[in-house]
Amino acid sequence: MIIAEYQCDVRYRGKQLALAEFLPLEKMNWIVCGNALRLDWLSICPPVGTGVKLKADDLFETPLDQADEAAQKLAETPHRFREQITAKERVLVIPRVSSENRPYLPVGLLEPASVIQEKAFALYDAPLWNMALIASRLHWVWIGTVCVRMRTDFSYSNTLGWNTFPVPFLTANNKTDLTRCAENILLAREAHFPATIADLYDPNKMPADLRAAHDDNDETLERIYIGRRFKNDTERLEKLFQMYTEMTSAEKTKPPATKKPKRAKS
């Protein structure tokens, strides 16, 4: 939407810009909008001049008096996002589409107030060792196999890819080790600032220290799975599908949940 004569919410734009490393954003697609969880749009960016009023009816195809109750409630704050999700500590972000030529998926770490577009998935306040899982060769192989493709590129899916990814039981020490691996990957990236994710993960130009950080991450994670490094991607897939079969078989053998009897209405 375009709101004439309103100042730009600089804070929102700054958080949107944080995604530029992971997504090809265009300035023309930015939305002038208040951060609903932290700012009140009308008080922070009041209209200037005369006659600029935001008419909620203009934002809906269906007239408000014919819309459902939820739509009418949203119309009270048409300058805000419908989904208002924020984190307290961190946001892990991964693009929906990623080049198959990259040796690893470009998962990233953003500030808690970052606004995530529909072209990316986010984990809000997830432990940092989750990043080590997503940045691993194991996860790359899994996503490339079970998820659909956008042309030849990977099309990430939270339901097909993340929710189904088999992970063995992780001890506290395992999680500490994986957290260290994720931190080392981030530090290796930072050492090459202002290089972008596209620059860093070009298979022909990937910095040696970043490649070593990923290799250490794979070494740590794969030893949790089988006590050693996998020989190749075929062996990785065989192990993952074995674990997935065991995982789904165990779900099928669980007794159905019994419903609690409903209490009679008084």
Q: What is the pLDDT of residue 4?
A: 34
Mean pLDDT across the stretch 128-150?
94
Tokens 């040696």 correspond to 208
Neighbours of 92 (CB within 10 A): 22
Confidence of residue 118 (pLDDT cuts 50, 70, 90): confident
Decide if pLDDT at 242 tops 70. yes
The number of residues in the chain equals: 266
| DSSP code per residue over 180-226 | HHHHHHHHHHHTTTT--HHHHT-TTT--HHHHHHHHHHHHHHHHHHH
Tokens 């419908």 correspond to 82
- Lowest-confidence segment of 5-9, 20-24, 179-183, 186-190 by average pLDDT: 5-9
Provide the mean pLDDT of the chain: 78
* Inter-residue contact 110 to 91 (CB < 8 Å): yes
Beta strands in 27-165 (DSSP E): 91-95, 97-98, 108-110, 120-124, 149-150, 153-155
Statement: the pTM of the whole predicted model exceeds 0.75: no
* Inter-residue contact 84 to 97 (CB < 8 Å): no
Nearest Cα residue to 106 out of 136, 128, 85, 86: 136
Q: What is the pLDDT of residue 148?
A: 83
Decide if pLDDT at 34 tops 80. no
